[in-house]
């Protein structure tokens, strides 16, 4: 394939690059797609909510950007291949692939139906493997490219009430490390891989998650989505093996390397206390099987609800 652009390994920005973003209908994916388009990238949007993607592509186009929307499910390898083919057919290649789609299941491990655990692995790990596989094959053909995987601070610090999610994110980080070494051994120095590791962030992820905790989802000191969106945009130019996003993620990552057992116990205790503060909630699968129609936003409104919960518990004066 003829390369007519400066290779991403030598780039200083994303202008002119073609970037594929999965999970683009809400949260990090939506925010990153908008910001990347604002900076001159062609964005290829993938998610289950085709109508929401079409609306996002229209918004980007109206603002002067270029976007292609492809309805798809990352847990289906045929859909992932179709997303890659659409990007190549429209733009000739893609320079960056962002494996962003992810789901969760909250509650004690044994209270969560086994099929929900399996669905978490299908999306968070198998879906990411499908994306990495098709992206790296394309990158090896064209001689360059950048693969960005969305991990979590759970990739480093396992967290109670999120057992299968944390396991999937630990696997994401391990996969990225292995891929970096394989690319080095194969001599593919212009193909790079990085893993972004956020702390808990106020996005619709919490509303979408399956939840069997008996309470609405929440976590201490949630970060603003802008912190992670900025990290994604930076990673498209300068990816690193591990990229904690935000001060809390950096602190948690460092703490676990020095005091692993203490950090895991403290994290579990924090998660347990947060569950106890939340409003009661009936158990259910959230959006892990069928998408929700009214959550195609960047922010999740979780911090606003947490304030209501905290105000309810704090005595006046």
Residue 51: CATH number of its domain? 3.40.50.720
pLDDT value, residue 10: 61
Q: Is this structure's pTM higher than 0.85?
A: yes
Q: Is residue 88 part of a domain?
A: yes
pLDDT value, residue 218: 97
pLDDT tens for each residue of 179-200: 999 999 999 999 999 999 999 9
Mean pLDDT of 93-111: 98
Polymer length of the chain: 317
pLDDT value, residue 153: 95
Q: Is residue 6 part of a domain?
A: no
Q: Is residue 5 part of a domain?
A: no
Q: How many other C-beta atoms are found inside a 10 Å radius of the C-beta of residue 66?
A: 16
Q: Is residue 7 part of a domain?
A: no
Q: What are phi and psi of 263, to 5 degrees?
A: -65, -40
Residue 3 has pLDDT above 50, yes or no: no
Catalytic residue (one of 130, 161, 165, 212): 165
pLDDT value, residue 4: 41
Residue 242 has pLDDT above 60, yes or no: yes
Look at strands 105-106 and 18-22 and give their pairing: unpaired
Q: What are phi and psi of 244, to 5 degrees?
A: -60, 140
Q: Is residue 8 part of a domain?
A: no
Strand partners, 191: 145
Counted domains in the chain: 1
Mean pLDDT of 45-66: 98
Query: Do residues 26 and 1 touch, judged by C-beta distance below 8 A?
Result: no
Please, what sign has the CA dihedral across residues 296, 297, 303, 305?
Answer: negative
pLDDT tens for each residue of 106-148: 999 999 999 999 999 999 999 999 999 999 999 999 999 999 9
pLDDT value, residue 301: 97
Of residues 314 and 313, the one with the higher pLDDT is: 313
Q: 235 vs 121, 149, 181, 241, CA distance in Å?
A: 25, 10, 18, 10
Query: Do residues 83 and 98 touch, judged by C-beta distance below 8 A?
Result: no
Domain of 205 in residue numbering reads as: 14-312
Mean pLDDT of 88-110: 98
Residue labelled with tokens 């996003």: 245
Q: Is residue 39 part of a domain?
A: yes
Alpha carbon distance, N-terminus to C-terminus of the chain? 69
Residue 1 has pLDDT above 90, yes or no: no
DSSP string spanning 46-60? EES-HHHHHHHHHHH
Q: Is residue 2 part of a domain?
A: no
110: Cβ–Cβ under 8 A, 6 or more apart, which residues?
Answer: none
Query: Do residues 197 and 165 touch, judged by C-beta distance below 8 A?
Result: no
Q: Is residue 248 part of a domain?
A: yes
Q: 265 vs 45, 159, 237, CA distance in Å?
A: 39, 9, 36
pLDDT value, residue 2: 36
List the structure tokens of 198. 């956020």
Q: Band the pLDDT of 12: cuts 50, 70, 90.
A: confident
Buried/exposed 248-278: b ≥16 CB within 10 Å, e otherwise? bbeebbebbeeeeeebbeebeebbeebbeeb
Q: Band the pLDDT of 7: cuts 50, 70, 90.
A: low
pLDDT tens for each residue of 257-279: 999 999 999 999 999 999 999 99
Query: Do residues 106 and 289 touch, judged by C-beta distance below 8 A?
Result: no
What 3-state DSSP class applies to 258?
A: helix
Answer yes or no: 289 catalytic. Answer: no
For the chain, give the percent of residues with pLDDT over 70: 96
């Amino acid at each position: 394939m003829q390369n007519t652009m400066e290779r991403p390994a030598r780039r200083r920005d994303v202008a002119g690059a073609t970037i594929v973003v999965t999970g683009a209908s809400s949260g990090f994916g939506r925010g990153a797609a908008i910001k990347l388009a604002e900076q001159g990238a062609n964005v290829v949007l993938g998610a289950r909510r085709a109508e929401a993607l079409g609306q996002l592509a229209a918004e980007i186009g109206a603002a002067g950007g270029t976007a292609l929307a492809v309805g798809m499910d990352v847990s289906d390898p045929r859909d992932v291949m179709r997303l890659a083919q659409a990007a190549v057919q429209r733009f000739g290649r893609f320079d960056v692939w962002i494996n962003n789609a992810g789901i969760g299941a909250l509650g004690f491990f044994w209270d969560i139906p086994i099929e929900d655990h399996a669905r978490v692995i299908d999306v968070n790990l198998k879906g990411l493997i499908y994306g990495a596989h098709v992206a790296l094959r394309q990158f090896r053909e064209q001689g360059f490219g950048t693969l960005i995987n969305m991990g979590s601070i759970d990739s480093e610090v396992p967290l109670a009430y999120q057992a299968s999610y944390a396991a999937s994110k630990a696997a994401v980080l391990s996969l990225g490390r292995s891929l970096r070494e394989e690319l080095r051994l194969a001599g593919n120095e212009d193909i790079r891989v990085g893993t972004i590791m956020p702390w808990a962030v106020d996005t619709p992820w919490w509303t979408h998650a399956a939840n069997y905790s008996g309470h609405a989802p929440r976590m201490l000191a949630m970060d603003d989505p802008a912190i992670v969106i900025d990290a994604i945009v930076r990673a498209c130019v300068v990816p690193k093996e591990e990229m904690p996003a935000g001060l809390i993620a950096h602190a948690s990552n460092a703490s676990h390397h020095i005091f692993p057992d203490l950090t895991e116990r403290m994290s579990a205790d924090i998660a347990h206390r947060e569950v106890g503060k939340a409003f009661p909630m009936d158990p259910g699968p959230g959006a892990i099987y069928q998408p929700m129609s009214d959550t195609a936003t960047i922010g999740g409104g979780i911090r606003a609800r947490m304030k209501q919960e905290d105000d309810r518990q704090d005595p006046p004066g």
